[in-house]
Amino acid sequence: MGEQQHVKFPQEVIDEYAALGVDLQALFSAGHLGTRMGVQITEASAEKVVGTMPVEGNTQPYGLLHGGASAVLAETLGSVGSMLHGGSSKIAVGVDLNCTHHRSARSGLVTGVATPVHRGRSTATYEIVISDEEGRRVCTARLTCLLRDVNPGDGAHVGATA
């Protein structure tokens, strides 16, 4: 649990970040929290981000998938889509997350698919649908990210991933 798989990026995105000396695999990983929770990003573009997360280890006391775990998966996937939309000159910062939990999950993997609702110059909004292994909707989330310009101080953090 926690080991990142390789993310599928469009070639033009790979080229853009490589020219800046940025390691896309590290930059667009699930991060420390996502890694602890077993989030795996399997596909990533501004048009669609797909990832999975195990239910085991991410449950509440009744043995059901924790709603906060679904929120972590949703925010991770929506943030990656927003970052890809914004490009290398922008940083995506989540400003609003809404999650509706439709059904429980007790085992297996859940899969989240983030698709854009709005992609503007200063904000990006993604809908994230999380489903169980039978394809039943577990959660529907919406994430809005502010797209702000990269500041000089941001380079140290981004450079640390390269």
Note if 75 is an active site residue: yes
The DSSP code for 59 is B
Rounded to whole angstroms, the Cα distance separating 47 from 43 reads 10
Helices (H), the chain: 11-19, 24-27, 31-36, 67-86, 154-161
Q: Are strands 109-119 and 137-149 parallel, antiparallel or unpaired?
A: unpaired
Residues 6+ apart with CB under 8 A from 112: 50, 51, 52, 53, 73, 74, 77, 128, 129, 130, 131
- The dihedral through the CA atoms of 143, 156, 50, 136 has a sign that is negative
Say which amino acid occupies 109: L
Q: Which of 75, 127, 133, 134 is catalytic?
A: 75
Residues labelled catalytic:
75
